[in-house]
Structure 1
Amino acid sequence: MSNTVLHLKDASIYQRETLILSEVNIEIQKGEFVYLIGKTGTGKSSFMKTLYGDLPLIEGEGNIVDYDLRKLKEKDIPFLRRKLGVVFQDFKLLNDRNVNENLIFVLKATGWKDRAAMDQKIAEVLKKVGMETKGFKNPFQLSGGEQQRIAIARALLNDPELILADEPTGNLDPQTSVEVMEVLQQISKNGKTILMATHDYALLLKYPSKTLKCDGQKVFEVVQKTV
Structure 2
Amino acid sequence: MIRFEHVGKRYDGGFEALQDLSFELEQGELAFLTGPSGAGKSTLLRLIALLERPSRGHIRVAEIDLSRLRRRHIPYLRRRIGMIFQDHRLLHDRTVFDNVALPLIINGIADHREIARRVRAALDKVGLLGRERYYPVTLSGGEQQRVGIARAVVTRPPILLADEPTGNLDPGLSGEIMQLFVEFNRVGVTTLIASHDLELVGRLGFRRIGLCDGRLDPDVAGGVRA
Normalising by structure 2, we get a TM-score of 0.92
Contact 2:32 2:208 in 1 (8 A): yes
- RMSD over equivalenced CA pairs, Å: 1.5
Tell me which residue corresponds to 2:51: 54
Q: Give % identity.
A: 33
**Alignment check: 8 A CA contact 1:14 1:55 kept:** no
What is the one-letter code of the residue matched to 2:27?
K
Where structure 1 has 5 or more consecutive residues not aligned to the other structure, the ranges are none
Question: Which stretch has the larger CA shift, 18-27 or 88-97?
Answer: 18-27
Provide the residue aligned with 2:206 in structure 1: 209
Q: For each residue in 1:152-171, what CA deviation from the matched residue of structure 2 results, as whole angstroms up to 9, or x when unmatched?
A: 11111111111000000011
Match of 2:23 in 1: 26
Residues 107-133 of structure 1 show CA distances to partners (whole Å, capped at 9, x for unaligned) of 111211111111111111111111111
Shift of 1:73: 3.2
SS of equivalent to 2:18: strand
Pairing partner for 1:149 from 146, 150, 153: 146
Displacement of 1:53: 0.9
* In structure 2, distance between residues paired with 1:72 and 1:171: 35
Q: Secondary structure at the match of 1:130?
A: coil
Given candidates 68, 72, 75, the residue that maps to 2:69 is 72
Equivalent residue, structure 2, for 1:11: 7
Which runs of 4 or more aligned residues in structure 1 lie more than 6 Å from their structure 2 counterparts after TM superposition? none
Match for 1:159 among 147, 156, 163?
A: 156
Q: What letter is aligned with 1:223?
A: A
Which segment drifts farther, 208-217 or 13-22?
A: 13-22
Task: Provide structure 2 residue ranges, at least 5 long, that are not aligned to the other structure.
Answer: none
User: 1:174 Cα deviation (Å)?
Assistant: 1.0
Is 1:41 paired with 2:38? yes
Describe the SS at the equivalent of 2:143.
helix
